[in-house]
Amino acid sequence: MINNFHEFHSSSLKVYSNKKMEYKQRQWHEKCFACCVCKTPIGTKSFIPKDQEIYCAGCYEEKFATRCIKCNKIITSGGVTYKSEPWHRECFTCTHCNTSLAGQRFTSKEDKPYCADCFGELFAKRCTACAKPITGVGGTRFISFEDRHWHNDCFICAVCKGSLVGKGFITDGSDILCPECAKQKLIRTLFYFKTLYIYFLCAF
């Protein structure tokens, strides 16, 4: 298939019985009216003019047709465009797993396309609670604090399991606590040390 060709010219070509040919008021011997690339005489076949040159259909396609950036073969139909470059649909695949990305959601890194799953596994932040990637695909929300990150659903108190999204929280080592649970833990800790102190005094 020839994409975006100038119109084929055959009706405007005049062929005379004495083997002379005329096109746009210019004249050629029949054998001289040939493709500028392969030198095959055009005869009465269709041809494509470009920049004062004459091309047969095959040579015009080979020289000017759109080519896939990945395989360098001519794109005859369909195709997709990414970063202003043409691809065959079957060539536009995930850089890591080669799954087709045509018509699918994907993410890029350093101008290379990745499917959502591969991008998550390779590059995304990981949830401190569940260790799964935080991709943001599908509107997934997440919370970041210092160098840690959580899915919204994973951002819960380590004790009562209540959601801490949009609420105050206290960090306790690797855990996060709601204010009430943190208060109760502090009370228990103080009670423990008070009891330990009394025991220490009684021992002497």
pLDDT for 179-194, tens place per residue? 999 888 887 776 444 4
The CA-based angle 64-90-138, given to 5 degrees, is 120
The CA-based angle 125-126-127, given to 5 degrees, is 125
Does pTM top 0.85 for this prediction?
no
Task: Determine, yes or no, domain membership for 200.
Answer: no
Task: Determine, yes or no, domain membership for 34.
Answer: yes
Task: Determine, yes or no, domain membership for 130.
Answer: no
123-143 mean pLDDT: 78
C-alpha distances in angstroms, 126 versus 30, 129, 135, 198? 72, 9, 9, 45
Contact 20, 31 (CB under 8 A): no
Domain count, the chain: 2
Looking at residue 7, its pLDDT comes to 39
What domain range includes position 20? Answer: 14-64
Are 59 and 86 contained in the same domain? no
pLDDT band at 48, cuts 50/70/90?
confident
pLDDT 10s digits, 58-99 = 888 888 888 898 998 888 777 898 988 999 999 999 999 999
Are 59 and 84 contained in the same domain? no
Beta-bridge partners for 53: 50
Neighbours of 79 (CB within 10 A): 17
Looking at residue 15, its pLDDT comes to 47
Are 58 and 84 contained in the same domain? no
Task: Determine, yes or no, domain membership for 108.
Answer: yes
Phi, psi of 128, deg, nearest 5:
-60, -30
Are 49 and 84 contained in the same domain? no
CATH code of residue 51: 2.10.110.10
Task: Determine, yes or no, domain membership for 28.
Answer: yes
Contact 176, 158 (CB under 8 A): yes
**What's the start-to-end Cα distance of the chain, in Å?**
100
Instruction: Report how far residue 163's alpha carbon sits from residue 166's, in angstroms, rounded to the nearest whole number.
Output: 9
